[in-house]
Amino acid sequence: MTQVPAVLDRPGPALPFPSPNASWKASRYGLVRAFALVYLAVTGMTRVALSLKALAAGQVSADALPAVFAIGTGYDLLTGLYLCLTFAVYLLLLPERLYHARWQRVIVWFGMVFGTFGVCYLAAVEFFFFDEFNARFNYVAVEYLIYPHEVFVNIWQSYPVARAMIAAAGAAAAITWWLHERVTAALRAAGSLRTRLAPAAWLLGLAAASYAGIDGTSGRITHNRVADELAANGIYSFFSAAANAHLDYTQYYTTVDETEAALRVRRLVGQRNANFITGARNPLARHVRYAGAPKPLNVIVLLEESLGAEFVGAYGAERSLTPHLDRLAGQSLVFTRTYATGTRTVRGMEAVTASFPPVPAEAIIKRPGNEGMFNWSEVMRANGYSPTFIYGGYGAFDGMNHFFGHNGYRVIDRSQMDEPAFSNVWGVSDEDLFRNALRVFDRQHARGERIFSVIMTTSNHKPFTFPAGVEGVKPKGGGRESGVRYADHAIGAFVEQLKQRQYFDDTMVVIVADHGARVYGREEIPLPTYAIPFLIYSPRHVPARRVDTLASQIDVAPTVLGLLNLSHDSVFFGKDVLADPHASTFAPLNHNRDIALYRDERLSGLGFGKTGATLAYDPATRRQTPIAPDIDGARDAASVFQLAYTLYVRRGYRLE
């Protein structure tokens, strides 16, 4: 029988319960300790790299870093504990004979190499994710994993994945070689079940205690969102976001009495030409009436991917990338203070088409039970329109086809389009999309149908690849600048082609972005990044002018209905911002799990865990300053989001 060499020192007097320190020394738990040290070292260096990047960009100050690293180390220790727990239990329960078997050693070595590679590669992924979103892994990362083909191909085309993998493999090899002696010694160690029990018990106890008292918001102690994100841990944040994907709003956010919520929202959405319907099950149900005859114009909504106002000269961009849009703006009704409700396409879709606030965490486009909701198409169909949703990609992504197909639209996505001249993983080029859309409209017009269409573009998106031959646009490697320039070029070409149609004179083109280019800034909800263009182009029917009233994506549908003079019944959360120029308006906002209501230059924010804050916003400096709590504003904010959530889960967002 082969003698197994003992590595542990000769034990002293027996204790009733072995000390954890003695049990960790040169035992099989040395494997856990080795991996934990690797993980903590890599996550610590990741935080250093991200902090240096944020410092260089002026997003954090040096005096915030001690708190960042103190809190961050705590999250790293906690995450490392969770990661090592299963491994520790495995080592606890594995008998000595099996532990020293050759196959088990192969498994351990493979696990150490693969685990170290994973930690190193994840550090690179975190760096690129932070560069794009100014955040650790959040619900965006969770959503990305739901559609692996589109996302992973996009990542491969947009980032140096191969180089990152090679670098991670090299680092993993070097680290594993450095740990070779420690791992070998741990694999030779011997010990009884009794000596193995204490370390595992300590780990289990610490994990249980931390689970009860710490969550993803425990470390958010500053007024700087970027600093809080630097202090977070990517893996912990990812699983926290996944666990709260279908959270109950009333459990985690500030609430008010349901009757009070309904009354407050009725006051916010009221307009002088609307009367609430007595006895309706939906408290927002109201008759909206316009004087004069309806204007049965065709309505084409261009929902533009990532087209932030920061790029548009008509919205004050110092360096305009949108000459075609600027020219159209000079002939359009331009809403100069329009904000997106969120940072994802599905948020823009729910706001524009259903006038629905961004209740965390998922948009209604992706939630179950979203069939038959009151939305823009319902009003249009009642007035003789034939609604279509036209998307350049595959509409199964994010549940778009299901939502639009079950809410009154005929869906046309990439699978039903003519062969494109150019496409990438996200979809056909905007030019191809618009050419296909015009064919649809031509057929509708020939059949005598009234056109109402929502067109969702995809080109202004990573990997930023475009057809050759467009002035100012690099087919590859041009980044966001080329994306915006190409989107603008395609809009200009579409309008010129539309002008050649018989139905152009009786057509209204609505141009609005789904969201801004990216979220950056130290605030929980950095308002300037939510600013988007919203303009209405119909030279024969809509006089050109600029409107400075605060507007949101939830106001797009009711405002266009007003311009069409279409009296209707509504339960929209938005309203016609032109109906009463002196009425108060508001913009609901969402970022990750934070939500807010913006109006009168104030943000009433609501955070996860029933937290809240009031901030004054200065449009000139674009700065947010914490001020004394506005209780009334906070209750208005809670009312909007709470009522929206309640109506959705009770399937009450209908005209009833």
Domain of 650, CATH number, reads 3.30.1120.80
Which residue, 217, 243, 269, sits at the end of a domain?
243
Is the domain of 137 the same as that of 187?
A: yes
Contact 460/486 with Cβ under 8 angstroms?
Answer: yes
Is the domain of 258 the same as that of 151?
A: no
Contact 394/414 with Cβ under 8 angstroms?
Answer: yes
DSSP assigned state of 477: S
Asked if the structure places residue 277 within a domain, the reply is yes
Q: Which residues pair with 597 in a beta bridge?
A: 588, 604
Is the domain of 189 the same as that of 255?
A: no
Is the domain of 285 the same as that of 183?
A: no
Give the C-alpha separation, 525 to 530, whole Å. Answer: 9
The token duo for 246 is 């279908």
Question: Does the pLDDT value for residue 353 go beyond 90?
Answer: yes
- What's the whole-number mean pLDDT along residues 178-207? 81
- What's the whole-number mean pLDDT along residues 448-475? 94
Give the pLDDT band of residue 295 (cuts 50, 70, 90): very high
Residue 9 confidence (pLDDT): 36
Residue 583 confidence (pLDDT): 82
Give the C-alpha separation, 262 to 275, whole Å. Answer: 15
Residue 144 confidence (pLDDT): 65
Question: Does the pLDDT value for residue 23 go beyond 60?
Answer: no
Question: Does the pLDDT value for residue 441 go beyond 70?
Answer: yes
Is the domain of 42 the same as that of 183?
A: yes
Give the highest mean pLDDT range of 180-189, 191-200, 584-593.
584-593
Residue 309 confidence (pLDDT): 96
Is the domain of 52 the same as that of 109?
A: yes
DSSP assigned state of 443: H
Question: Does the pLDDT value for residue 390 go beyond 90?
Answer: yes
Residue 624 confidence (pLDDT): 92
Give the pLDDT band of residue 422 (cuts 50, 70, 90): very high
User: Exposed, middle or buried: residue 469 (CB in 10 Å: 0-12, 13-18, 19+)?
Assistant: exposed
Identify which of 145, 138, 143, 159 has the alpha carbon closest to the alpha carbon of residue 229.
Answer: 138
Is the domain of 656 the same as that of 600?
A: yes
Q: Which amino acid is at 211?
A: Y
Q: What percent of the chain has pLDDT over 70?
A: 90
Contact 20/202 with Cβ under 8 angstroms?
Answer: yes
Of the candidate ranges 193-202, 269-278, 337-346, the one whose mean pLDDT is the lowest: 193-202
- What's the whole-number mean pLDDT along residues 33-40? 89
Of the candidate ranges 145-149, 326-330, 583-587, the one whose mean pLDDT is the lowest: 145-149
Length of the chain: 656
Helical packing angle, 180-188 and 161-178, nearest 10°: 60
The parent domain of residue 49 ranges over 20-243
Asked if the structure places residue 505 within a domain, the reply is no
Is the domain of 42 the same as that of 64?
A: yes
Q: Phi and psi of 110, rounded to 5°?
A: -60, -45
- Which tens digits make up the pLDDT trace of 520-555? 777 788 999 999 999 999 999 999 999 999 999 999
CA distances 229 to 121, 122, 225, 285, 530, Å, are 19, 16, 6, 41, 19
Asked if the structure places residue 357 within a domain, the reply is no
Give the C-alpha separation, 598 to 596, whole Å. Answer: 6
- What's the whole-number mean pLDDT along residues 566-571? 97
212 or 200: whose pLDDT is higher? 200
User: What mean pLDDT value characterizes the chain?
Assistant: 88
Question: Does the pLDDT value for residue 73 go beyond 80?
Answer: yes
Question: Does the pLDDT value for residue 338 go beyond 90?
Answer: yes
Which residue, 243, 265, 299, sits at the end of a domain?
243
Give the pLDDT band of residue 148 (cuts 50, 70, 90): low
Give the pLDDT band of residue 143 (cuts 50, 70, 90): low
Helical packing angle, 234-243 and 65-93, nearest 10°: 80
Question: Does the pLDDT value for residue 587 go beyond 80?
Answer: yes
Of the candidate ranges 52-66, 126-140, 577-591, the one whose mean pLDDT is the lowest: 126-140
| Element (DSSP H or E) covering residue 553 | none
Q: Which amino acid is at 574?
A: G
CA of residue 459 relative to chain centroid, distance:
18
Question: Does the pLDDT value for residue 271 go beyond 90?
Answer: yes
Residue 27 confidence (pLDDT): 81
Give the pLDDT band of residue 22 (cuts 50, 70, 90): very low
Q: What percent of the chain has pLDDT over 90?
A: 56
Give the C-alpha separation, 221 to 225, whole Å. Answer: 9
DSSP assigned state of 9: P
Of the candidate ranges 44-58, 191-205, 208-222, 466-480, the one whose mean pLDDT is the lowest: 208-222
- What's the whole-number mean pLDDT along residues 563-572? 97
Overall number of domains in the chain? 2
Residue 376 confidence (pLDDT): 98
Is the domain of 235 the same as that of 261?
A: no
Of the candidate ranges 107-116, 179-188, 206-215, 555-564, the one whose mean pLDDT is the lowest: 206-215
Asked if the structure places residue 193 within a domain, the reply is yes
Give the C-alpha separation, 174 to 9, whole Å. Answer: 30
Give the highest mean pLDDT range of 148-157, 570-579, 580-589.
570-579
Asked if the structure places residue 581 within a domain, the reply is yes
Contact 490/459 with Cβ under 8 angstroms?
Answer: yes
CA distances 519 to 83, 134, 417, 529, Å, are 30, 7, 33, 6
Contact 481/475 with Cβ under 8 angstroms?
Answer: no
Give the C-alpha separation, 640 to 551, whole Å. Answer: 16
Asked if the structure places residue 110 within a domain, the reply is yes
- What's the whole-number mean pLDDT along residues 39-50? 92
Residue for token digits 């965006």?
140
Give the pLDDT band of residue 252 (cuts 50, 70, 90): confident
- What's the whole-number mean pLDDT along residues 177-205? 82
Contact 487/456 with Cβ under 8 angstroms?
Answer: no
Residue 3 confidence (pLDDT): 41
Is the domain of 193 the same as that of 229?
A: yes
Tell whether pTM > 0.75: yes
Residue for token digits 């079950």?
406
Q: Phi and psi of 587, rounded to 5°?
A: -130, 115
Of the candidate ranges 3-7, 126-130, 227-231, 564-568, the one whose mean pLDDT is the lowest: 3-7
A 10 A CB-CB count for 248 gives: 10
Contact 636/602 with Cβ under 8 angstroms?
Answer: no
3-state SS class at 299: strand
Which residue, 209, 243, 277, sits at the end of a domain?
243
Give the pLDDT band of residue 6 (cuts 50, 70, 90): very low
Question: Does the pLDDT value for residue 12 go beyond 50?
Answer: no
Give the pLDDT band of residue 40 (cuts 50, 70, 90): very high
Is the domain of 216 the same as that of 161?
A: yes
Give the pLDDT band of residue 215 (cuts 50, 70, 90): low
3-state SS class at 582: coil
DSSP assigned state of 527: G
CA distances 258 to 247, 263, 276, 434, 636, Å, are 19, 9, 17, 45, 12
Asked if the structure places residue 622 within a domain, the reply is yes
- What's the whole-number mean pLDDT along residues 266-289? 95
Asked if the structure places residue 585 within a domain, the reply is yes
- Which tens digits make up the pLDDT trace of 488-521? 999 999 999 999 999 999 999 999 999 998 777 7
| Element (DSSP H or E) covering residue 562 | helix 556-563
Is the domain of 175 the same as that of 258?
A: no
Helical packing angle, 139-146 and 148-158, nearest 10°: 110
Residue 131 confidence (pLDDT): 80
